[in-house]
Amino acid sequence: MSPGNADVRDLPALPDAEAALAELAARMAPAVAHDAAFVGIYSGGAWVAERLAKMLPGDHPVGFIDVAFYRDDYKRSGLKANTRRTELPFDVEGATIVLVDDVLFTGRSVRAAINELFDFGRPDAIELAVLVDRGGRELPIEPTYTGASLAVARDLSIVLSRDANGRLALAIEPATAA
Amino acid sequence: MISRNPQLNAEGKLTHLLTLEGLPASVIADILDTAHPFVSVGEREVKKVPLLRGKAIFNLFFENSTRTRTTFEIAAKRLSADVINLNIGVSSTSKGETLLDTVDNLVAMNADMFVVRHSQSGAPHLIAAHLNRTGRAHVHVVNAGDGRHAHPTQGLLDLFTIRHYKKDFRRLTVAIVGDVLHSRVARSLIHGLTTLGTPEVRAIGPKTLLPTAVQSLGVRVYHDMREGLAGCDVVVMLRLQSERMRGALLPSPGEYFKHYGLTVEKLAMAKPDAIVMHPGPMNRGIEIDSAVADGDRSVILPQVTFGIAVRMAVMSILAGG
């Protein structure tokens, strides 16, 4: 086993993304406000937010957030390429918001997303829904709703992808240097 | 030892922005892509992101330009940087201090970035080379206009505006009209357009206002405005600098307007969906008619809005190096 690389045999079994999404929706359905806005964190979280808005009862405005301007690693790694516009097509002031991300790891993206939301107004409440919680938190941030949980070594990344038909899939790869 | 392109570090990343000349297309495209999400920051209730919090940006204006200085100041403030404005023309240099001594003093005050405007071509280049040579390349330089040489952020905002309305540079005919000779804006835009693959760039103006070497930049020269505008997608009007009138380069404002002022009638020679740009401040009735400046083909005010976003992008790319 070479240092820094997890052995292939140690790779955890990944949950099926569509099954995790169904589980997440089932857990949210009885609890989420019917007018809550869903805000997906680019890029994976945006796909999950779009799907959840269609699956859950109620009328959920969907927004997207790119946290690049609020990240805490800008001084270390600069501005990431392909930053997208944050689009929040509803009034954040007084809104109930469910932040949606694909994979919850350190909690730093969520911290950045919450800071960015407050620059648009004061929401009544913010909840957090994640497709996969992989552990490894570096901040006191916990999800309100989780699709699947698993423990993954720190040097591995879990990556969500979406095919042409809109089906979601999870893959595991060596972490790229941040 | 000064590297050939002091704007780029050993890994080819941008550390200073001095000119668009010699910048790879990928670097220019990256700046334009980065500027896109910054446009929306200006539309928010809190028009600010925390990216450059705690950074000290010095506006070093050896030549007056309230407008350009203000756009850099707004851009830096929207990135949460601290901005210090120095009108050097009326301070230290008048006491005999050299340019590089001024710079060294400000670096000793922990400056993170200089935005430099100077009437001498090459002044920002000199500062950047000095910082590189003395191991202080973490202090960045942005050229905000030097002599007749370059005005890269204006060139970039023009490119951003053209891309916003016309998408693909590789199918465009762009005309630049007026005082190309004295225009650093024109020079920067020509370099940018050529690098991004614009097949036809035209310069339109009287012989006295077109530099003799302009054709070597890959530009087609026209002295007849109607002929030059025929089939254009983009018309960029340049400000006629009134001081040039006195230099006997031009007969009179009225005569100039007759030949090179953009009117609805002359604009009709361009494509029906052609856009009209102007870097400002514009002289109505000299280089552009009010009916065009205020008309539906004019994108002069969007240029101003995009200019803030482009400067935010440049500053965050440099500081995040």
User: Do B44 and A119 count as a contact with CB atoms less than 8 A apart?
Assistant: yes
> Which residues are CB-neighbours of B303 under 8 A, at least 6 positions away?
B157, B158, B161, B277, B278, B279, B280
Average pLDDT of span B6-15: 90
Within 8-37 of B, beta carbons closer than 8 Å to A belong to 30, 33-34, 36-37
The chain-wide mean pLDDT, for chain B, equals 92
Task: Give the pLDDT band (50/70/90) at residue B212.
Answer: confident
Give tens-digit pLDDT for A15-69.
999 999 999 999 999 999 999 999 999 999 999 999 999 999 999 999 999 999 9
Q: Is the dihedral of CA A107, A109, A111, A113 positive or negative?
A: negative
The answer to whether the CB of B183 falls within 8 A of the CB of B210 is no
Classify domain A12-174 by CATH number. Answer: 3.40.50.2020
Q: Do B36 and A79 touch (CB under 8 A)?
A: no
Contact state of B36 with A78 under an 8 Å Cβ cutoff:
no
Q: Is the peptide bond before A77 cis (omega within 30 degrees of 0)?
A: no
C-alpha radius of gyration, chain B, whole number = 19
Q: What is the pLDDT of residues B115-174, one digit of tens each?
A: 999 989 999 999 999 999 999 999 999 999 998 899 999 999 999 999 999 999 999 999
Structural domains of chain B ordered from first start: 25-150+305-320 (3.40.50.1370), 152-303 (3.40.50.1370)
Q: Cα dihedral sign for B166, B170, B173, B176?
A: positive
From the CA of A122, how many Å to the nearest CA of chain B?
12
Q: What are the phi and psi torsion angles at B54 (to 5°)?
A: 85, -5
In chain A, which residue's Cα lies nearest the Cα of B314? A79
Q: Which of A104, A165, A105 is nearest to A130 (CA)?
A: A104
For residue A17, which of A148, A109, A146 has the smallest C-alpha distance?
A148
Q: Do residue A81 and residue B34 have CB atoms under 8 angstroms apart?
A: yes
Q: Chain A closest CA to B42's CA: distance in Å?
A: 12
ipTM beyond cut 0.85: no
**CA pseudo-torsion sign B246, B250, B255, B261:** negative
Contact B37 A79 (CB under 8 A): no
Whether the per-residue pLDDT at A11 is higher than 80: the answer is no
Chain-chain contact of A119 with B321 (C-beta, under 8 angstroms): no
Task: To the nearest 10°, report the CA torsion of B49, B53, B59, B60.
Answer: -150
Domain ranges of chain A: 12-174
Beta bridge partners of B175: B202, B235
User: Is A9 a residue whose pLDDT tops 60?
Assistant: no
Tell me the per-residue pLDDT of A131-154, one tens digit each, with 9 for 90 and over: 999 999 999 999 999 999 999 999
Rounded distance between C-alpha atoms, residue B293 and residue B257, angstroms: 14
* Residue B78: closest C-alpha in chain A: A69
- SS (HEC) of B213-235: HHHHHCCEEECCHHHHHCCCCEE
Task: Say if B42 is an interface residue toward chain A (CB within 8 Å).
Answer: no
Nearest CB partner across the interface for A78, out of B33, B48, B321: B321
Smallest CA-to-CA distance from B146 within B100, B187, B105 is with: B187
B46 vs A: CB within 8 A: yes
